Amino acid sequence: MQAARPDVADFVKAQAPDLRNPESCPALVLNADFRPLSYYPLSLWSWQDTVKAVFLDRVNIVSEYETIVHSPSTDFVLPSVVSLKTYVKPPRYPAFTRFNVFLRDGFTCQYCGAPHELTFDHVIPRRAGGRTTWDNVVAACSPCNLRKGGRMPKQANMMPRNKPIQPTVYQLHETGRRFPPNYCHESWQDYLYWDTELEA
Ligand SMILES: [Zn+2]
């Protein structure tokens, strides 16, 4: 069964922070091609870092909040979206981290599909020489992890739903787009096509 995904607009209404407070005004950071530097976690900068980058002439302001910060010499409207002036080539392969393994596997157990109690399972157990690598580690819920124990996939009759592979950054981005952030300012939405399928 698939749970209904909340609409981005619900997030905006439900969790809108106090935008009068600059601390609640991070900027969405886009690459020079106007795609987010990263989707998950979403590339956001604090207002301080954003203002610094504007003054260093490293970014263009794409959109602004209504929030203004005052300094002795000037007032500054906080950007809500900025884009880098110089294109940063994204790395081809992501780091092998626990988070990225979960993300590759869509935050679901690779044996039963459960989204809860996620742990990591070595498909080929460590004691049988299985290594801790992209192609041997999958997300598994703890009941499945327990059930499989130290057995080989065939012995346990438990095969991962997706063959574990090293994903590219692009693939992880595509997966990350299925998981919208808790909060999404309305000016960000044009750059974040969460869960949108383009129909030909
Ligand atoms: Zn499971």
Checking if the pLDDT of 65 tops 50, the result is yes
Q: What does the pLDDT read at residue 24?
A: 85
Dist. CA 143 → ligand 1 center (Å): 6
Dist. CA 176 → ligand 1 center (Å): 21
For residues 193 and 56, the model is more confident at 56
Return the domain boundaries, the chain. 8-91+170-191, 98-156
- For range 96-101, the mean pLDDT: 88
* Predicted TM-score (pTM) of this structure: 0.66
For residues 174 and 115, the model is more confident at 115
Checking if the pLDDT of 42 tops 70, the result is yes
Dist. CA 183 → ligand 1 center (Å): 29
Q: What does the pLDDT read at residue 5?
A: 44
- CATH number for the segment(s) 98-156: 1.10.30.50
d(CA 126, CA 118): 19
* Both structure tokens of 49: 């870092």
Checking if the pLDDT of 52 tops 60, the result is yes
Dist. CA 112 → ligand 1 center (Å): 4
Dist. CA 180 → ligand 1 center (Å): 24
